[in-house]
Chain A
Amino acid sequence: GAVVSQHPSRVICKSGTSVKIECRSLDFQATTMFWYRQFPKQSLMLMATSNEGSKATYEQGVEKDKFLINHASLTLSTLTVTSAHPEDSSFYICSTMTVNEQFFGPGTRLTVL
């Protein structure tokens, strides 16, 4: 399957700062990447679909101005959480898709103090 990396794996920041999370497809050119968020004891919730060379598609209820997504190349998508607040603390996971399967990155644990 596809190999996906994320950086950083863990980040702690102060309220009001912005945090950038990188998602890389290491062995596969990904025209589409997905960004998920998972709160403790809850399932994965799709935040947005990242499309190489075009604007991301956001799910209902996800603020596009707060969660900035850039997919500038076939191997890299970034998610920037702007002006992060404690309620944004969560596990952020990206994935890439081959023909019919999605492969997930290892996730980024964000803690906003």
Chain B
Amino acid sequence: QKEVEQNSGPLSVPEGAIASLNCTYSDRGSQSFFWYRQYSGKSPELIMFIYSNGDKEDGRFTAQLNKASQYVSLLIRDSQPSDSATYLCAVNRKSSGNTGKLIFGQGTTLQVKP
């Protein structure tokens, strides 16, 4: 079992729709959770992070965390073609002696069709 799992997709949604991206993790000691967006040939850019159970909203993006179910998701409202990219879920386990180590999922490719 991978530590961080995502459906590789592609996930295809029409422009203006809500895109829902999901991520599960295996280590219950995980403390913080990140969503990154990566365009082809570019490095990842941070969208948002979440530490506490519940929802966190930032503009068109909402992250949802459920530690009991070991599940984190990202909702993108009013999806735009420019949102087409690979979305990476990352988890910070803060394993001993290595603060800040991020474990990445394989990423979900999102396609927003005009």
Give how many A-B residue pairs fall within 8 Å (CB-CB): 47
Nearest neighbor of A49 in chain B, beta-carbon distance: B98
**Which stretch (B44-52, B53-61, B65-73) binds chain A?**
B44-52
- We find that the number of chain A residues with CB closer than 8 angstroms to chain B is 21
Given known contacts A43-B88, A104-B44, A105-B43, A97 and B104 CB-to-CB distance under 8 angstroms: no
B106 within 8 A of A: yes
Contact of B46 with A101 in the complex, beta carbons under 8 Å: yes
Separation of A93 and B43 alpha carbons in the complex (Å) = 7
- We find that the number of chain B residues with CB closer than 8 angstroms to chain A is 23
**Residues of B with Cβ closer than 8 Å to A?**
32, 34, 41-46, 49, 51, 88, 92, 97-107
**What would 28 A/B residue contacts be, using CB atoms closer than 8 Å?**
A1-B46, A32-B100, A34-B100, A34-B101, A34-B102, A42-B106, A43-B104, A43-B105, A44-B104, A46-B101, A46-B103, A57-B97, A93-B44, A97-B100, A100-B32, A100-B49, A100-B51, A101-B46, A101-B49, A102-B46, A102-B102, A103-B46, A104-B43, A104-B45, A105-B43, A106-B43, A107-B43, A109-B41
